[in-house]
Amino acid sequence: METAIEQCLEGAGYEFNTEVQKNLLRAAKLGRTFAPDAYPSQFVNMCRVLRVLNDVRNPRIGIPLTYTQYPF
């Protein structure tokens, strides 16, 4: 279960479509109900990273920054 949660979170990071990101985050959140000790901080960090990436990708700003390009 932990692997599935990790892959959903990572997949959300690489996805540009916000609806797909939401679905992957929901799947990871659902998986966390079955494995509550799995990646609690990673889920929060990914939500923060996606918020920043989606704001930068906004057409008004127009920087197509990817997850791998994002400086941690």
pLDDT digits (tens, 9 = 90+) for 1-58: 889 999 999 999 999 999 999 999 999 999 988 987 776 889 999 999 999 999 999 9
How far from the centroid of its chain's Cα atoms is residue 25's Cα? Answer: 6
Distance of alpha carbon 44 from alpha carbon 15, whole angstroms: 17
Q: What is the DSSP letter of 37?
A: T
The confidence score (pLDDT) of residue 60 equals 92
Name the residue type at position 58: N
The confidence score (pLDDT) of residue 38 equals 72
Q: Are the C-beta atoms of residues 63 and 56 closer than 8 Å to each other? A: yes
Q: Are the C-beta atoms of residues 46 and 63 closer than 8 Å to each other? A: no
Residue 72 has pLDDT above 80, yes or no: no
The confidence score (pLDDT) of residue 40 equals 80
Q: At a CB cut-off of 8 Å and minimum separation 6, what does 2 contact?
A: 35, 38, 39
The confidence score (pLDDT) of residue 36 equals 75
The confidence score (pLDDT) of residue 26 equals 96
